[in-house]
A and B are shown apart, each in its own frame.
Chain A
């Protein structure tokens, strides 16, 4: 089966610019996660969707970050405006059952 797809793979922007990331989960996976992974740290959950509803977005900086999963399949994560500290790898993962999460390749964001 096809894995989790993410695009773009790399993005370089200047601070205060906007950026959007796209994720296509594995077909049939109801749960979708967005993580932020800063260099030298483990992934940090930003938001979890169950179908098109938000399960948890408590760690999403809502003043600048937004995410949606309108039809319960693809998802987009947006940052507006970006700050230097947003430089990280943004990981998307999906799961069918409650255990294994399947990860995409990630998007490496550099904010200058």
Chain B
């Protein structure tokens, strides 16, 4: 079955520290993976997708097919990174997304 797992419901780090939000997926084919973010009182929005292989707001994510992971990383956390982060998988021709439960990231000053 297709599944996305975000093992941490809450992650709290100090400002300036590295951040890694974990995402593991279950899918036998070639998935498309996404990270969406929801800042306080804002709507859910796309942060980045693995196909783009770009860095957004200092965040990067590498698809590791061997470990079936798509962890989100940032070397130096900033307070404005505090938000809810969702990992999502697109695994069929209709481009429907299968979502993880989300990780709440808190950056402490």
The interface of chain A, by Cβ under 8 A from chain B, is 3-4, 33, 40-45, 48, 55-56, 91, 93, 95, 98-106
Number of interface residues of B (CB under 8 A): 20
Looking at chain A's contact residues, the main secondary structure is loop
Check A42 against B43 for contact (C-beta < 8 Å).
no
Q: Is B72 an interface residue (CB 8 A)?
A: no
Q: Is there an interface contact between B97 and A101, defined as CB atoms closer than 8 Å?
A: yes
Would you give the shortest CB distance from A20 to chain B, in whole angstroms?
Answer: 21
Residues of A contacting B90 in the complex (Cβ-Cβ under 8 angstroms): 99
**Taking the nearest CB of chain B, how far is it from the CB of A9, in angstroms?**
11
Tell me whether B46 is interfacial, beta carbon within 8 Å.
yes
Of B43, B45, B96, B102, which contacts A48 at CB under 8 A?
B96
Within 8 A of A (CB), among B57-95: 86, 88, 90, 94-95
Contact B99 A101 (CB under 8 A): no
If A48-B94, A55-B94, A56-B94 touch, whether A43 touches B99 (CB-CB below 8 Å) is yes
Q: How far is the CA of A46 from the CA of B44 in the complex (A)?
A: 17
Asked if B101 lies at the interface with its beta carbon under 8 angstroms from chain A, I say yes
The contact of B46 among A48, A91, A101, by CB within 8 Å, is A101
Closest Cβ of chain B to A92, distance in Å, is 10
| A45–B44 touching, CB < 8 Å | no
Of the candidates A44, A91, A98, A99, the one whose C-beta lies within 8 Å of that of B44 is A91
- A103 touching B94, Cβ below 8 Å: no
